[in-house]
Amino acid sequence: MSLQAQLAMILWLPIVLYLFNKYPPRKAVIVGFLGGLLFLPQRAGFNLPLIPDYRGMVATCYGIFIGIIIYDSEVFNRFELKWIDYPMILFGIAPLFSSLTNGLGLYDGINQSISQTVQWGMPYFLGRLYLNNLAGLKELAINIVKAGLLYVPLCLYEVRMSPQLHNMVYGYFPHSFAQTMRFGGWRPQVFMQHGLMVGLFMMTATLIAIWLWQGRVVAKIWRMPMEWVVVILFVTFILLKSTGAYALMAIGLIILFSAKWFRLNLPLILVLLAIVGYLVVASTGNLQTDNIISSLQQVFPEDRVASLEFRFDNEELLGEKARERVLFGWGGWGRNRVYAENWAGEIEDISVTDSLWIIVFGINGLFGLISLFASLILPVVYLIIRYPVNTWLIPKVSSAMVLGVCLTLFVVDCLVNSMFNPIFPLIGGGLSGLFVYSPQITNKTMKRNILIHQKSQKKSLNNYSISNQNR
Model confidence pLDDT, tens digit, residues 254-304: 999 999 999 999 999 999 999 999 999 999 999 888 878 888 777 777 777
Q: Is the dihedral of CA 16, 17, 20, 23 positive or negative?
A: negative
- Sheet strands (E) in 306-455: 339-341, 347-349
Q: From residue 296, how far is each of 243, 251, 261 by CA, in Å?
A: 13, 15, 28
Read off the pLDDT of residues 197-209 as tens digits, 9 standing for 90 and up.
999 999 999 999 9
18 occurs within a structural domain: yes
Cβ neighbours around 49 below 10 Å, total: 5
CB 169 within 8 A of CB 7: no
23 occurs within a structural domain: yes
Burial 52-88 (b: 16+ CB within 10 A, else e): bebbbbbbbbbbbbebbeebbeeeeeeeeeeebbebb
Collect all residues with Cβ–Cβ distance below 8 Å to 244 and sequence separation of at least 6.
196, 199, 200, 413, 416, 417
Collect all residues with Cβ–Cβ distance below 8 Å to 364 and sequence separation of at least 6.
91, 94, 95, 97, 98, 328, 329
Q: What is the rounded distance in angstroms from the CA atom of residue 112 to the CA atom of residue 34?
A: 26
Q: What is the rounded distance in angstroms from the CA atom of residue 158 to the CA atom of residue 209?
A: 23
Contacts 24+ apart (CB under 8 A), 228-232: 229/145, 229/149, 230/206, 232/149, 232/152
Q: What is the rounded distance in angstroms from the CA atom of residue 430 to the CA atom of residue 105?
A: 35
Residue ranges, the chain, pLDDT below 70: 176-179, 182-183, 438-471
Q: Domain range holding 64?
A: 1-78
318 occurs within a structural domain: no
Contacts 24+ apart (CB under 8 A), 446-454: 446/388, 446/391, 449/391, 449/394, 449/396, 450/390, 450/391, 450/394, 453/393, 453/394, 453/395
Q: 3-state DSSP call for residue 119?
A: helix
Element of type H or E holding 133: none
pLDDT of residue 451: 56
Q: What is the rounded distance in angstroms from the CA atom of residue 353 to the CA atom of residue 417?
A: 9
Collect all residues with Cβ–Cβ distance below 8 Å to 19 and sequence separation of at least 6.
27, 28, 31, 32, 67
pLDDT of residue 48: 84
58 occurs within a structural domain: yes
CB 187 within 8 A of CB 181: yes
pLDDT of residue 448: 58
Closest C-alpha to 393, from 266, 258, 248, 269: 258
73 occurs within a structural domain: yes
Q: Is the dihedral of CA 37, 42, 47, 50 positive or negative?
A: positive
How many independent structural domains does the chain possess? 1
Give pTM, 2 decimals. 0.91
